Structure 1
């Protein structure tokens, strides 16, 4: 007869321990990609756009290879919805988004508020808000502004920050988190 009261390891505890050791081990962009390597052989993004009504759920990386058609689909989805301009989204940003989503252990898609921004759109947004950078990483396809209903801004911020793959901005008043593949840094409350 075996003792049923022995300690069991849950998936969440194992992922938490793995994420903690990954963050400590290599505080660079490689954390996001490294975390995903340890999390399985696929990378997936699932998003919805409240602006266009579109949805995407795609596996864009399998066993060390990006899937060109899926990456193109993500580029189109993350286009500037105001001008319909499409730009290549930096795959490092995709990886950070996927890694943060995995850390949150949710099935809910991200709500994409802003992906790529054309210079025209960025200039218009700058004229309306002091929080829009003149040389925003959105202009280079290196950033995304995201929201979730089932996770707070703080939860999303902590998950993205744990990846140590780029910049993470917390915009609690507007209920979104900014993720980019630039230098590791954070801001906002």
Structure 2
């Protein structure tokens, strides 16, 4: 899957061929759960902290609390070192989209949790930062990959039909959140 767009057939083939699958838990994504396997994994790299994460966080229908705590810490606000609980729905969306892209490369995390102070500072610097950002409540992540284009990441996340997906081609990242299903950007 190296071309810049995913066909519906390619997405379904990627899902059917996998042995380790992750899927969102929202009602719109229940079809992804059927036969999806019994393990969910999240792979990320945080360049600002110089940290890597390759974590199985769900096995046979159960979230693993210590793994979720590690993910919460990994996705902390690097500016303040503030840690916040990250929504398992957001984690599931990130994991499912990663699985659809059929790559072992980890995401590069640009932004996970943001403290209100960090969000306010970013709003002063950019008009593209929401006043009530889902980052402030642990429901969003801004991600990029070297081996996949912004368009490929965007299409994989949208295929999950489970939350908000923003395409930021100029800045080379995709926003994923567990809010209402919607998409934006170019």
Q: Pick the TM interval, shorter chain.
A: 0.7 to 0.9
Which runs of no fewer than 5 residues in structure 2 stay unpaired? 1-9, 18-24
Among 39, 44, 59, the residue aligned to 1:42: 39
Q: Is the 8 A contact 1:32 1:99 kept in 2?
A: no
| Length, aligned pairs only | 170
More helix by share: 1
User: In the aligned structure 2, how far is the partner of 1:68 from the partner of 1:33?
Assistant: 23
Aligned partners of 2:48 and 2:172: how far apart in 1?
Answer: 16
Q: TM-score, normalised by structure 2?
A: 0.86
Where do 1:45-124 residues align within 5 Å? 45-124=42-121
Q: Give the structure-1-normalised TM-score.
A: 0.85
Which residue of structure 1 aligns with residue 6 of structure 2? none
Shift, 1:35, TM fit: 1.8
Alpha-carbon distance in structure 2 between the residues aligned to 1:149 and 1:37: 30
For the pair shown, the structure with the greater C-alpha radius of gyration is 1
Distance 2:132 2:106 in 1: 28
Partner Cα separation in structure 2 for residue 116 and residue 143 of structure 1? 7
Who is 2:129 aligned against? 132
- Structure 2 contact 154–166 (Cα < 8 Å) conserved: yes
Q: Displaced runs of 4+ in structure 1, greater than 2 A?
A: 11-18, 28-34, 36-39
Q: Distance in 1 between matches of 2:108 and 2:122?
A: 19
Shift of the alpha carbon at 1:40?
Answer: 1.0
1:67-111 deviation per Cα after TM superposition (whole angstroms, max 9, x unaligned)? 000000000000000000000000000000000000000000000
